[in-house]
Amino acid sequence: MKNMLVTGGCGFIGTNFVRYLLKESDFKGRVINADKLTYAGNPENLTDIEENFPERYIFEKVDICDRENIARIFDEHEIDTICHFAAESHVDRSIVDPDAFIQTNIVGTFGLLELAKANQDRLELFHHISTDEVFGSLGKDGFFTEQTSYKPNSPYSASKAASDHLVRAYHKTYGLQVTISNCSNNYGPYQFPEKLLPLMILNGLEGKSLPVYGDGRNVRDWLFVRDHCTAIWEIMKRGKRGETYNIGGNHEMENIGLVEMICDILDGIQKPEAKESRRELIAFVKDRPGHDRRYAIDSTKLNRELGWVPKESLETGIRKTIQWYIDNREWVNRVRSGEYQSWIKEQYG
């Protein structure tokens, strides 16, 4: 793996993966980051990487649905590995505008697979990043395993399920060297402020309302993004080709419990001005359609075969995340105001 195409490398998880790959891992090759730069894609996340690794990091502004340009990148940079993050990923947005999710997540993945198939002679691996949302909703007990049937409940999860099936089919039908990973809910640095954790952190710091869907009893398994990145790299290096691996944080919590934890940690860092506790800012709002009740990942296969376990506890990961948002308010302000989009237009048109 000498020339890795990372799609969606300016998004939340992609950014963290590129940073991990070049700054911390044993990867010695080049990263070619292909990103369309939609609202959640921010190349400023990687400005220091571009400066510090000029020979090993290359950015290409391109839509993965643009087959001609993706093929050019593939040939020009002699791509031998693909790590595919690029996706529309926000459930609420998929309910309002599913078309973008079908185009990017299904059609875009199909185009990449066709390109990979045409270049199998030099392709080491096509690794596909997916989500536990493809499995649907769990009851009070049990966990998602690699054998769990797919039952997606939103346009987003349905589009990811379709892309998973395509990747698996290209391995079975054409012998393409692939691995797939399905992860639980990620959190950490560089996450777009619309997501649950950064929204609660930033609103809490500013004394604003903390909106929680429904009764707040929906359960998620939370995975610190750096732990996710280490798992992806282990799978890419040593995972069995054609196999799927679940990546979980082993930290289940109801949404309301998570928000209360954030409130308590923030209160310990900075006392709220107008209230006794930030818990008083919590406001329950109308639940979203198709809101899955519980996700929980069983990562036994990943642990047994590759020896991976998450390093962060939920509390240590949350504390690190809160501190990052406190220390990077300029980034937050540029993202919230849309100022970064003006910079993107100036730099890339």
| Domains, the chain, ordered by start | 3-187+222-250+291-312 (3.40.50.720)
Average pLDDT, rounded, for the chain: 95
Q: By the 8 A CB rule, do 12 and 316 touch?
A: no
234, pLDDT greater than 80: yes
Catalytic residue among 132, 164, 221, 312: 132
The rounded percent of the chain whose pLDDT value lies above 70 is 100
- Give me the mean pLDDT over the 65-85 stretch: 97
Output phi, psi for 177, to 5 deg: -80, 105
Q: Which pLDDT score, from 0 to 100, does residue 341 have?
A: 83
Q: Which pLDDT score, from 0 to 100, does residue 347 have?
A: 82
90, pLDDT greater than 80: no
Classify 32 as helix, strand or coil. strand
DSSP class of residue 133?
G
At residue 93 the predicted structure's pLDDT band, cuts being 50, 70 and 90, is: confident
272, pLDDT greater than 90: no
Catalytic residue among 20, 57, 156, 190: 156
Helix, strand, coil shares of the chain, percent, nearest 5, are 50, 15, 35
Element of type H or E holding 324 = helix 314-327
pTM here is: 0.95
Q: Which pLDDT score, from 0 to 100, does residue 339 have?
A: 83
At residue 348 the predicted structure's pLDDT band, cuts being 50, 70 and 90, is: confident
At residue 66 the predicted structure's pLDDT band, cuts being 50, 70 and 90, is: very high
At residue 311 the predicted structure's pLDDT band, cuts being 50, 70 and 90, is: very high
Classify 210 as helix, strand or coil. strand
pLDDT tens digits along 249-262: 999 999 999 999 99
The question of whether 273 is a catalytic residue gets the answer no
The CA distances from residue 162 to 146, 152, 165, in Å, are 16, 10, 5
- Give me the mean pLDDT over the 179-207 stretch: 95
Catalytic residue among 35, 60, 63, 133: 133
β-bridge pairing 57-61 and 81-84: unpaired
pLDDT tens digits along 102-119: 999 999 999 999 999 999
The question of whether 26 is a catalytic residue gets the answer no
343, pLDDT greater than 80: no
The CA distances from residue 284 to 3, 61, 288, in Å, are 48, 40, 12
- Cα–Cα distance, 198 to 200 (Å, whole number): 5
The question of whether 132 is a catalytic residue gets the answer yes
Bridge partners for 81 per DSSP: 4, 125
